[in-house]
Amino acid sequence: MTPSLYEVMPWFAALGFVFLGATHAAGRPPLRGSWIGPAVLAGLLTAWSLATIAREGFAAVWAEHTRNAWGNQIWFDLLMAAGLAAVLLFPRARAVGMHPLPWLAFVAASGSIGLYVMAARCLYLEQRRQVRAATT
């Protein structure tokens, strides 16, 4: 029997997580254009989310998180991970002129999509600042 898309996609996501984590854990310096990766991931997740909402409806998001103990656990885990990532990203964002409160609202409304867009914007602004410093 051929596995369904819903059985295969989590494995691709897990492999992407391991690859991204391993390359950054190895201490490689950020590459020029490193903001593109988070921007692309935000776009892909947005497309998947919109397709899911179109198919299942927006109310299904909350229904999944309140269905049982696992749904609650996943909700808590998402909130804690996004909160920690945002708190760690805020000092870098402030350093390049980004105001954290609108970004916090965006992350709260969209989860990882907002977090990846925020990271992409921060990386872009950091890269732009480095390029300007190198040319002056």
What is the value of pTM for the model shown? 0.83
Residue partners of 86: CB distance under 8 A and separation at least 6: 100, 103, 104, 107, 115, 118
pLDDT-flagged residues of the chain (< 50): none
* pLDDT, position 30: 63
- Measured at the CA of 104, the angle between CA 13 and CA 109, to 5 degrees, comes to 60
Per cent of the chain over pLDDT 90 is 55
- Under DSSP, the state recorded for 68 is S
Rounded to whole angstroms, the Cα distance separating 100 from 98 reads 6
